[in-house]
Amino acid sequence: MPAARSGPKLGWLALLWAGLGLICARYDLALSQAVVQRDAAWAQAGQRFGELPGVFAFALAGAASYAKPIAVHLPWWQRQLPWLLCSLGASLAVALCSYRLFGRRLTQAEAGVALALALLCTRLLRAPLGHGLQLHPGLERAAAWTVRLGIWSWALVSSLKLVWGRVRFRDLQPTAGDFTPWYSPQGWTGHASFPSGHAALGWLLLTSLLIWPRGTRPYRWTLAACLAWGVFVAASRVVAGAHYLSDVLFSTAFAFAVVGYAQRSASGQAQGRAGRELPPEGR
Cis peptide before 75 (omega within 30 of 0): no
The pLDDT value recorded for residue 224 is 97
Farthest CA pair distance, the chain: 75
The pLDDT value recorded for residue 5 is 46
Q: Which amino acid is at 82?
A: P
The pLDDT value recorded for residue 7 is 42
CB 248 within 8 A of CB 43: no
The pLDDT value recorded for residue 13 is 73
- Mind listing the pLDDT tens digit for each residue in 159-190? 999 999 999 999 999 999 999 999 999 999 99
Cβ neighbours, 10 Å, residue 214? 17
Query: Quick one: residue 130, left, alpha or beta (phi over 0 = left, psi -120 to 50 = alpha)?
Result: left
The pLDDT value recorded for residue 10 is 62
Cβ neighbours, 10 Å, residue 128? 6
- Mind listing the pLDDT tens digit for each residue in 29-58? 999 999 999 999 999 999 999 999 999 999
Distance CA 186, CA 182 (A): 10
The pLDDT value recorded for residue 275 is 56
DSSP letters along 176-192, please?
-TT---TT------S--
Computed from CA positions of residues 236, 155, 92, 75, in that sequence, does the dihedral angle turn out positive or negative?
positive
Which residues, in sequence order, are CB contacts of 165 under 8 Å at separation 6+? Answer: 185, 186, 187, 188, 189, 190, 191, 192
Using 70 as the pLDDT threshold, list the residues of the chain that sit under it. Answer: 1-10, 268-283
The pLDDT value recorded for residue 130 is 76
Cα dist. 158→163, 239, 251, 263 in Å? 9, 22, 12, 26
DSSP letters along 95-145, please?
HHHHHHHH--PPPHHHHHHHHHHHHHHHHHHHGGGTT-----HHHHHHHHH
